[in-house]
Amino acid sequence: MSTRDEKHFETADVQNRFDFKMDQKAALVAEKGLTEETVRLISEDKGEPEWMLRRRLRALELFDAMPMPTGWPEMPDLSEVDINEIIPYIRPDVEVRGGAKSWEELPEEIRDTFDKLGIPEAERNALSGVGAQYESEIVYQNMREEWEREGVVFMDMDKAVREHPDLVEEYFMTKCVPPSDNKFAALHGAIWSGGSFVYVPEDTTVDMPIQAYFRMNSEGMGQFEHTLIVAEKGSEVHYIEGCSAPKYSAFNLHSGCVEVFVKEDAHVQYSTVQNWSKNTYNLNTKRAIVDKGGRMEWISGSMGSKATMLYPATILNGRGASDNHITIAFASEGQDIDTGAKVYHNAPETKSTIVSKSISRGGGRTNYRGLVRIAHGATDSSCAVECDALMFDNESTSDTMPHIEIHESKVDVAHEATVGRIGDDDIFYLQSRGLGDDEAKQLIVSGFIEPITSELPIEYAVELNRLVELEMEGSLG
């Protein structure tokens, strides 16, 4: 087999891992649309306490009162997003609710789904814990005993509401992402389901990543998982999130929420590799609050979806707190990937860096939309923003829309943006070394995205590079 044939076989294998559909029975399917009856149905089906139902109903009121977001310059077209056409809740038919402890407890169809995605293998080789969500619920959840003995908690959010009510009631959509934040945060607050709860005790370092994988299998559904991470003083954890869905003719909606609390001198890294199908609208809200000396890192690869609006935010509230964003976005024909970062410097000696990489081809559009705000009194703070865009053709577009507010004089802020096409000279040089045209372009792109792949465990770095190769071939979606 030639090298070119081997390459095609590898990328086709990765494609098959994501772009497949399974026939799976559901135990409960809610009616399309968003009503009070639907909200009450979800809460009752989960056996939630009264306080969570009250929060859901309040979020529903806010959602109904808010208009769809409009008016942002060059924002993605959301006219197709009709909540009345979305199935908000599908509970898969599994015997063990709240996450089975072994793959053998799952129905064969669901087990095959995650086998194809490589989740069991990743758990054995590189992870401290794994959660797997199918449709609206976590179907598998496991944590290595060594971390459970240390007091680390990793469980699905539905179970956390019941088993850790004090912690969840304190942190869930109160201090970090209130439902009043935006229309899709309100939507999420009303019909959220599944997701992960992570609690790391003081001075505990989880030295292997924890992963959750979210899979939408049904046509025309919405997935609204909630992730809540609390890292106590001096602790450290790396959380990895993967997402995928097969392609259907009807649109799907993903509107998750992530809340991260980084206490004094703690360190949290949140990595995402998402590969939603190109009929999915990905409208997430992610935010972290960082105390004195804490460190937050967002590592993000956005490869799929019809439209993405995603701007992870960090609020640096303590002296010496720091934040790091590294993102890669890839848009091909019919895709509008609008991503960026937000950082609020609210204390002295806070630091942040934002590195945004984007690639567009075949008429796709990428956009960096960022906000950096340095408050009065945040002396000796610094921020560096770097935006690099790579385009394959004249039909593709890439925009950079930074917004920087500085209310303190004794600070250091830098912003740099570059945009360009793959140069003929670069391709010719690599071809003169024996590479074909496609191989030369892929090598250039691999070097371009190296800042993000170097931050991921090797298994995920390889996966990200393969997904980029698939997108360049135009073989997905």
Q: What is the pLDDT of residues 423-443, one digit of tens each?
A: 666 666 566 767 776 676 666
What is the model's pLDDT at position 249?
47
| Residue 139, Ramachandran bin (φ over 0: left; ψ between -120 and 50: alpha; else beta) | alpha
What is the dihedral angle through the alpha carbons of 218, 197, 261, 183, rounded to the nearest 10 degrees?
30
- Average pLDDT on 127-149 reads 58
The per-residue pLDDT for range 66-96, each reduced to its tens digit, is 998 877 888 999 988 898 998 888 876 555 4
Beta bridge partners of 282: 254, 308
Per-residue pLDDT for 3 more than 50? no
Q: Beta-carbon neighbour count of residue 107 at 10 Å?
A: 18
Cβ–Cβ under 8 Å, residues 288 and 260 = yes
User: 375 with 405: CB under 8 angstroms?
Assistant: no
Give CA–CA dist 427/437, Å, rounded.
7
Question: What is the signed CA dihedral for 223, 228, 229, 232, rounded to 10 degrees?
Answer: 180
The b/e string for 175-204 (b: 16+ C-beta within 10 A; e otherwise) is ebbebebbbbbbbbbbbbbbbbbbbbeeeb
What's this model's pTM, rounded to 2 decimal places?
A: 0.84
Is pLDDT at 5 greater than 70 in this prediction? no
Q: How far apart are alpha carbons 376 and 35 in whole angstroms? A: 43
Tokens read off for 160: 């956390």
Query: Which pLDDT tens digit goes with each residue over 341-387?
Result: 999 999 999 999 999 988 888 899 999 999 999 999 999 999 999 99
Q: Is a pLDDT exceeding 60 seen at residue 414?
A: yes
